[in-house]
Amino acid sequence: MSSKAVFYHAGCPVCIDAEKNLAYSLDPARFKLEIVHLGENKGRVPEAIASGVKSVPALLLGDEVYHINFGASIDDLK
């Protein structure tokens, strides 16, 4: 059985690099990956905030948020 993983990003170079090098490295047998570009999907910003995302890029695995480097504050995406 796989768990859900959500990779939130804003399209910045840091985010794109993390998407290519980290998010797509997840084992697809363990995680069903969803990529969410918050710059293009502003309606998903409240969901990201409710999940605990403070900055992007961020990876949500189950209920745990992992902030990766720093591309942009979630407040900049509202």
With 0-12 / 13-18 / 19 or more C-beta atoms within 10 angstroms meaning exposed / middle / buried, residue 68 is: buried
pLDDT band at 40 (very low <50, low <70, confident <90, very high): very high
CATH, range 3-77: 3.40.30.10
| Percent of all residues in the chain with a pLDDT value above 90, rounded to a whole number | 83
Give the start-to-end residue ranges of the domains of the chain: 3-77
Tell me if the bond preceding 57 is cis, omega within 30° of 0.
Answer: yes
52 has pLDDT over 90 = yes
59 has pLDDT over 90 = yes
